[in-house]
A and B are shown apart, each in its own frame.
Chain A
Amino acid sequence: MSGAASDFEAVRAAAEAAARNAYGRLLAYLAATTRNIAAAEDALGDAFASALATWPASGIPDKPEAWLLVAAKRRFLDGVRHARVRNAAEPTLALMEDDIADKADFPDARLKLMFVCAHPAIDEAARTPLMLQTVLGLDAARIASAFLTAPAAMSQRLVRAKTYIKDAGIAFEVPDAAGLGPRR
């Protein structure tokens, strides 16, 4: 019994280490590729859950980040297919599987993600919380208390901002000189 428990502890520690090191980079890459922060968060969260479930048996992978990226990509595409079935009127955009790479050396999109969060059109009260949640991976409750806001209100604010980012078509790019001004 203690063997299994310490195995799980090792796996949990490995997953936690991978999260601390790579959550922001993984999320930024998924979000920049799909332009859908909330869906990327869901997919990545599921990937971490799957890691906790399968690594005890399969062993901790050599490149945990690459494993997580593949798992998150698979879950994202599943979510897309589900949504397509439910929403027949949705634009028939084919999400090319190649659009999301699944190699360990995926590009660092965190700066782009931060600029998206800082877009002047986004509710001012949501910009910094968004950055904390997406790039740093802090949970909404902790962010809420840091900003002396009720957790439900902060959650709602974050959800609304992410939906707006997805729907309004904000590009995941570092803005040129003209665009930099308003985001300071």
Chain B
Amino acid sequence: MSKSAGAARLYGMRSGNFAPLCLKDKVMEYAILFYETAEADAARNHPEKSAAYWGAWGAYVTAIMESGISKGGQGLQSPGTATSVRLRGGKRQVQDGPVADAKEQLAGFFIIDVPDLDTALAWAARSPAAVDAAVEVRPVLPPMP
């Protein structure tokens, strides 16, 4: 057992287990990415629905900012305003609309500094996006050296 374990480590096969390091009091930054359905997006400018839409988001954003966990974030304009660009064979390909052709589209994001996944999930679950569509919670990479 120890011979092959030693050889495996020599060739770095098991060193993958050790990266990245984890400590019990490690600081974690998560991106919380809010996804939205077309119906919710339509509510933004809807005469009857917009008050509730912006009221809900306003309350949520205020709560995040007051908690002090935010490292930054931004709401995004509707998916229809997006432009996608790709470079293929040295040529730029530009297209109207978002990159992903999906029912749920990116609507905004925060970067939050919280100790663990469940804390991040709790914040994500409080957003209007969690009720409407979904929120993705993903750890950020450390800054480039």
Residues of A within 8 A of B (CB): 32-36, 38-39, 42, 45-46, 49-50, 52-53, 76, 79-80, 82-83, 86-91, 93, 95-96, 99, 121, 166-173, 175, 179
Contact B118 A86 (CB under 8 A): no
What CA separation (Å) do A168 and B28 show in the bound complex? Answer: 9
Among B2, B12, B15, B117, which residue has its beta carbon within 8 angstroms of that of A169? B117
Known pairs A86-B15, A91-B142, A169-B116; A79 contacts B2 (CB<8 A): no
Q: Which residues of B contact A42 (CB under 8 A)?
A: 5, 14, 17
Contact B28 A89 (CB under 8 A): no
Q: A36-B17, A83-B16 are in contact. List 17 more A-B contacts (CB 8 A).
A: A35-B22, A36-B18, A42-B5, A45-B5, A76-B18, A86-B12, A86-B19, A87-B19, A89-B142, A93-B23, A95-B23, A166-B20, A167-B139, A168-B139, A170-B116, A170-B117, A171-B118
- The number of A-B residue pairs with CB atoms under 8 Å apart is 97
B100 at the interface (CB under 8 A from A): no
Q: Name A175's closest neighbour in chain B (CB-CB).
A: B118
Known pairs A39-B17, A93-B21; A46 contacts B2 (CB<8 A): yes
What CA separation (Å) do A170 and B117 show in the bound complex? Answer: 5
Most chain A beta-carbon neighbours within 10 Å: one of B14, B17, B26, B144: B17
B1 at the interface (CB under 8 A from A): yes
What CA separation (Å) do A39 and B23 show in the bound complex? Answer: 13
Within 8 A of A (CB), among B87-130: 115-118, 120-121
Q: Which residues of B contact A46 (CB under 8 A)?
A: 2, 5
Q: Which residues of A contact B15 (CB under 8 A)?
A: 79, 82-83, 86
Among A88, A91, A170, which residue has its beta carbon within 8 angstroms of that of B21? A91
Q: Which residues of A contact B58 (CB under 8 A)?
A: none
CB distance from A41 to the nearest CB of B (A): 8
Query: 6 tightest CB-CB pairs across the interface, nearest first?
Result: A35-B22, A171-B116, A49-B2, A83-B18, A91-B142, A39-B17
Contact B145 A95 (CB under 8 A): no
Q: Name B10's closest neighbour in chain A (CB-CB).
A: A82
Q: Name B28's closest neighbour in chain A (CB-CB).
A: A169
What CA separation (Å) do A88 and B142 show in the bound complex? Answer: 11
Contact B2 A89 (CB under 8 A): no
Contact A99 B5 (CB under 8 A): no
What CA separation (Å) do A149 and B14 show in the bound complex? Answer: 25
Most chain B beta-carbon neighbours within 10 Å: one of A32, A93, A166, A168: A168
Among A52, A79, A96, which residue has its beta carbon within 8 angstroms of that of B14? A79
Contact A99 B24 (CB under 8 A): yes
CB distance from A85 to the nearest CB of B (A): 9
Contact B19 A53 (CB under 8 A): no
Q: Name B3's closest neighbour in chain A (CB-CB).
A: A49
Q: Name A33's closest neighbour in chain B (CB-CB).
A: B24
